[in-house]
Amino acid sequence: MRNFLSVKDAGNINSLVKLATNFRQNPLSQQSLGSGKRIGLIFLNPSMRTRLSTQIAAQNLGMEAIVFNGSQDGWSLEFEDGAVMNGSSVEHIRDAAPILGRYFDILGIRTFPSLKNREEDYSESVMKQFVNYAGIPVISLESATVHPLQSLTDIITITDNLPIQNKTKPKVVLSWAPHVKPLPQCVANSFSEWITTWNECDFVIAHPKGYELAGQFTKGALVTNDHAQALKDADFVYVKNWSSYADYGQIPGNSNDWMLTLDKLAVTNNAKIMHCLPVRRNVELSDEVLDSSNSIVTEQAANRVWAAQAVLSQILNNIK
């Protein structure tokens, strides 16, 4: 593995899941793998789980991890080629990224989409420029369109909680939820792409009209606007808000009745409830769902460490 930017870099997903669960059993089993190596974790947007879990994972592998809150502490970056920089941007990515490439052995980048210019966001130009100009392996800590470390974590968590009864494939439902502001499509895109690539679940995406995801991420998924029908017999319900892709970055319609409540879960197969967090309580999910024994959101977030450690170890093996 050179970079980790999407499911295309994952190789065999089950092997990566096994590696992650091995690290969970023995976190310090490869404590010298990253000795003398340094990872830079550059955050252009806020984070709690990604920031902390990746630092812990790096330290478990003997690496030094340095976090840089680029959006708060760094110079504002320019990403446009040929820009006349007489505005608010102070430093071009062409100048900044090669320096990061000299300071670090691996770079982790978090950047969000603008939600204003779909073509630009979906070209992943920010992440691509870090990759092109840094010259060292890059890990996505969430980009404009995907969140691969989260998706690997999600598959680890589903694997841990597979129903015991004799079913060929568990039913996994990605259930759109309301929110107070427009959010990126990254987590939903990425989860859909990973689950359909993994191909070990019956996968349904349920959302109100107007929230269709980009087709490139949903091939192989059943998509419906019927929430109750989607939830029927579900083994896992992954709750997530995203803004419109078609009417880019907008929140079409009033869909507050899509909040997941305990009564809606009655038709499921005692489904486990997932969310990447942070979550808006009593907007996306009710308290009673989040606080129920079916909620596995804390376990899911805890698995972020092992997903990051599996990915980092694969990249370290490649650059040793």
Stretch of 32-40, 112-120, 175-183, 270-278 contacting ligand CP, by CB under 6 A: 270-278
CB 20 within 8 A of CB 162: no
Stretch of 118-126, 195-203, 237-245, 275-283 contacting ligand CP, by CB under 6 A: 275-283
Closest CA to 151 of 42, 215, 240: 240
Angle at 215 between CA 214 and CA 216, to 5 degrees: 95
CB 115 within 8 A of CB 158: no
The C-alpha atoms of residue 74 and residue 23 are separated, in whole angstroms, by 34
In whole angstroms, how close is the CB of 173 to ligand CP at the nearest point? 19
- The answer to whether 49 contacts ligand CP (rule: CB under 6 A) is yes
Q: Which of 3, 6, 50, 125 binds ligand CP (CB under 6 A)?
A: 50
Name residues contacting ligand CP, limited to 287-316 (CB under 6 A).
none
- The answer to whether 276 contacts ligand CP (rule: CB under 6 A) is yes
For ligand CP, the closer CB: 267 or 277: 277
In whole angstroms, how close is the CB of 250 to ligand CP at the nearest point? 22
Q: Which of 48, 83, 85, 99 binds ligand CP (CB under 6 A)?
A: 48
Q: Which residues of 160-191 are buried (b: 16+ CB within 10 A; e: fewer)?
A: eeeeeeeeeebbbbbbbbbbeeebbbbbbbbb
- The answer to whether 47 contacts ligand CP (rule: CB under 6 A) is yes
The C-alpha atoms of residue 267 and residue 247 are separated, in whole angstroms, by 32
- The answer to whether 277 contacts ligand CP (rule: CB under 6 A) is yes
Q: Which of 55, 129, 143, 150 binds ligand CP (CB under 6 A)?
A: 150
- The answer to whether 139 contacts ligand CP (rule: CB under 6 A) is no
- The answer to whether 92 contacts ligand CP (rule: CB under 6 A) is no
The DSSP bridge partners found for residue 64 are 38
The C-alpha atoms of residue 231 and residue 271 are separated, in whole angstroms, by 9
Q: Which residues bind ligand CP (CB under 6 A)?
A: 47-50, 142, 150, 276-278
